[in-house]
Amino acid sequence: MVFVIQLFSAGMVMIPYIVVKGGFYGVRLDLTTIILLFIVGLVHTGIAYVLYFGSMDGLRAQSVAILSYIDPVSALLFSAFLLKEPLNIVGIIGAIMIIGSAVISEMQIGLPNGK
């Protein structure tokens, strides 16, 4: 239930911001659009959010950190291989930087005694 409240609160904060910035310019809100928006928001975002963060309760902090590093890299790879989106050099460099930072943080390189 906490996740639902968090998502609802985020939406209530973003709507006035979007209205002030003129973000709804040219958007056609008919019944089909509203239904599809709710499906994307509730099913593809809300339920996925609840499953992702709810499953982390039983994991150690180190495992959660590694999963949070892998998440954007897997999204990049899935979009390239499953959706056939072009994988450019910026995406590849970003993925290398994310994985590199995960490896460095696991090796505790940097400050003495891993602090």
Q: What is the pLDDT of residues 9-34, one digit of tens each?
A: 888 888 888 778 777 666 777 899 88
User: Residues with Cβ < 8 Å from 98, sequence gap 6 or more?
Assistant: 69, 72, 73
Q: How confident is the model at residue 69 (pLDDT cuts 50, 70, 90)?
A: confident
Q: How far apart are CA 20 and CA 11, in angstroms?
A: 14
Q: Is the pLDDT score of 79 beyond 70?
A: yes
54 and 95 housed in the same domain: no
32 and 48 housed in the same domain: yes
User: Residues with Cβ < 8 Å from 41, sequence gap 6 or more?
Assistant: 11
CA 67 from chain centre, in angstroms, equals 12
CA atoms within 13 Å, Cβ hemisphere of 27: 12
Q: What is the pLDDT of residues 31-53, one digit of tens each?
A: 998 898 888 888 888 788 888 88
53 and 68 housed in the same domain: no
Q: What is the pLDDT of residue 70?
A: 84
Q: Is the pLDDT score of 114 beyond 60?
A: no
Residue by residue, DSSP assigns 56-81 as GGGS-HHHHHHHHHHHHHHHHHHHHH
Domain count, the chain: 2
More confident position, 103 or 88: 88
CA 32 to each of CA 11, 39, 41, 47, 104: distance values in angstroms, whole numbers, following the listed order: 20, 11, 14, 21, 48
28 and 79 housed in the same domain: no
**Structural domain of 109:** 59-115
Average pLDDT estimate for 60-68: 81
Q: What is the pLDDT of residue 113?
A: 58
85 and 48 housed in the same domain: no
